[in-house]
Every structure is written in C-alpha cells, then in structure tokens.
Amino acid sequence: MPHPTQKRTKSSKKRRASHFALKKIKLIKCPKCGKPRLPHHACEFCGTYKNKQIITIKVKKKTAKQKAQDRKEQAKVKEAAKKTKK
C-alpha cells in the first residue's frame, strides 16, 4: 500500500475502480400477468409469487382528467364502429 504522500498511479486508480461498474438487472416474466419482475420476488403488478397470491394490490382510482380522457377515447371508438357499419 502506498504511503499517503505518494501519488496513486493511473493504472492503480483504474484497477481499484474496475469493480464500480453497474450490473444489468436480470428480469423474468411473471407467469400470471406477463410483466417483467425480479426473480425470487413477488410481482408488484399482480402480487403473485410461485403461482400463489401473496400480496393484495389496490387498484388506483382514476382522476377526473383520466376519466374524461377515457370517455373521449370510448366516443372515438363508437364513432369509428358506426362508420364501418355504414
């Protein structure tokens, strides 16, 4: 180990920093909902682990803006369906 007053060389610095790299997160597909999740963890979307319901997931309530958007989208779908029937 170098003395505190000695300069740390470039190669020594890079060798020390070689372990600082980030590792890729390995994800697997949830067998129930198909969304990516960490292995050996319960799915945060459906709450299952090893095909058993472990966590009950609360459904988020929609805001007034989201409800208005949904109504607009449904109206567009209905209009498109009427046009195709004619």
Mean pLDDT of 39-62: 89
User: Over the stretch 4-40, which tens digit does the pLDDT of each residue have?
Assistant: 778 889 999 999 999 999 999 999 999 999 999 999 9
Does residue 86 register a pLDDT over 70? no
Task: Return the closest-CA partner of residue 35 out of 49, 24, 46, 51.
Answer: 46
Spatial distance between the Cα atoms of 7 and 67, rounded to a whole number of angstroms: 64
Per the DSSP assignment, residues forming a β-bridge with 49 are 52
Percent of the chain past pLDDT 90, that is, above it, reads 48
Sole residue written with tokens 């195709």: 84
What is the spatial distance between Cα 64 and Cα 76, in angstroms, rounded to a whole number? Answer: 19
What DSSP string runs through 60-73?
A: PPPPHHHHHHHHHH
Domain boundaries, the chain: 26-85
pTM of the model: 0.49
